[in-house]
């Protein structure tokens, strides 16, 4: 069985790619209240590929406004600083971590982006606009532990994937074969990449969220909803979700918000986010 210490040691030995310097700089910039458009543009000028991806995203169905835009300054203004940093992180991760040894990278990233977009949409429905971009980033990163485990322990993870194909859930198969699941592994990787502690904790807890903690419950809910539409394995093909019975749903839509929620609108919005996720990953893989 793999311990946390063994995994961290293997993580360093395998030399998983670090976050691109452009992404790190964007993250630091948007945390600065004095950040300007020119500062963002100066950072992006050092990564033409990422700049081109952001320009395409600004003109995609996900963010398109009343007309197309041709320059990066307009793209940054349309997207907003936080969205630029998070979309840049997403595009860079897809480009850098295209998958481990055995995982279907396209499917994994489509799922992850869909969870991030769904979480952001639910966050807005729950009137928590200030947490929307953090929700997106948390959803985007929630399964990075799968890539880390597949990269660090390819032979053992092949056994995990065999069990998944046989009908096991990822979490159960990882714990049985490795003794370490992708939630814990992802949290350790996110901490190594110096993501905020809030994001690290959401990744760690997204399968077993504390009752009163909004973000882990939000990602847990979004993950379940997306898996009913994009199954991550045979077990998910039989996954049924009843919102009223989910503790995560109750934690996210607490109080009066829950009874006022338009469930039909939520369902349609999730289907829209899946289409957006497919487009996002396609654009990112073009970089």
Query: Which residues, including other chains, have CB under 8 Å from residue 33's CB and lie 6 or more apart?
Result: none
> Is residue 48 domain-shared with residue 106, that is, in the same domain?
no
> Is residue 27 domain-shared with residue 157, that is, in the same domain?
no
State phi, psi for 47 to the nearest 5 degrees: -140, 80
Domain enclosing residue 85, as ranges: 17-96
State phi, psi for 226 to the nearest 5 degrees: -70, -40
Where is the domain boundary, 46, 70, 96?
A: 96
Q: How many domains in the chain?
A: 2
Where is the domain boundary, 43, 78, 96?
A: 96
> Is residue 287 domain-shared with residue 185, that is, in the same domain?
yes
The vertex-264 CA angle with 253 and 222, nearest 5°, equals 50
pTM of the model: 0.86
> Is residue 66 domain-shared with residue 115, that is, in the same domain?
no
Specify whether the CB–CB gap between 190 and 238 falls below 8 A. no
Q: What is the pLDDT along the chain (287 residues), one digit of tens a residue?
A: 899 999 989 888 876 777 778 888 888 898 888 999 999 999 999 888 888 888 888 887 667 666 788 899 998 998 889 888 888 888 888 877 766 688 888 889 989 989 998 998 888 877 888 888 899 999 999 999 999 999 899 999 999 999 999 999 999 999 999 999 999 999 999 998 888 899 999 999 999 999 889 999 999 999 999 998 889 999 999 888 887 788 898 888 775 455 556 666 666 677 777 777 877 887 777 65
On whether residue 12 sits in a domain, the answer given is: no
> Is residue 145 domain-shared with residue 273, that is, in the same domain?
yes
> Is residue 182 domain-shared with residue 243, that is, in the same domain?
yes
Nearest Cα to Cα of residue 157 among 183, 139, 184, 175? 175
């Amino acid at each position: 069985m793999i311990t946390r210490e063994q995994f961290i040691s293997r993580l360093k030995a395998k030399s998983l790619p670090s976050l691109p310097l452009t992404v790190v700089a964007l993250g630091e910039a948007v945390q600065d209240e004095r950040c300007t458009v020119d500062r963002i543009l100066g950072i992006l000028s050092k990564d033409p590929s990422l700049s081109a991806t952001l320009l395409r995203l600004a003109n995609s169905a996900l963010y398109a406004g009343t007309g197309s835009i041709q320059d990066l300054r307009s793209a940054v203004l349309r997207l907003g600083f936080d969205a630029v940093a998070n979309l840049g992180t997403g595009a860079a991760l897809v480009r850098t971590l295209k998958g481990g040894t055995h995982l279907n990278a396209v499917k994994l990233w489509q799922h992850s982006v869909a969870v991030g977009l769904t979480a952001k949409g639910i966050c807005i429905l729950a009137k928590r606009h200030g947490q929307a971009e953090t929700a997106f980033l948390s959803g985007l990163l929630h399964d990075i532990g799968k890539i880390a485990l597949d990269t660090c322990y390819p032979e053992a993870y092949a056994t995990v994937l065999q069990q998944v194909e046989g009908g096991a859930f990822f979490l159960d198969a990882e714990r049985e074969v490795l003794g370490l699941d992708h939630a814990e592994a992802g949290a350790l990787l996110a901490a190594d990449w110096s993501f905020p502690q809030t994001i690290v904790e959401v990744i760690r807890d997204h399968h077993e969220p504390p009752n009163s903690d909004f973000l882990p419950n939000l990602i847990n809910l979004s993950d379940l909803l997306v898996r009913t539409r994009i199954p991550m394995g045979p077990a998910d093909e039989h996954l049924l979700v009843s919102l009223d019975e989910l503790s995560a749903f109750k934690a996210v839509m607490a109080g009066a918000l829950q009874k006022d929620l338009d469930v039909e609108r939520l369902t349609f919005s999730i289907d829209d986010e899946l289409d957006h996720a497919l487009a996002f990953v396609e654009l990112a893989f073009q970089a």
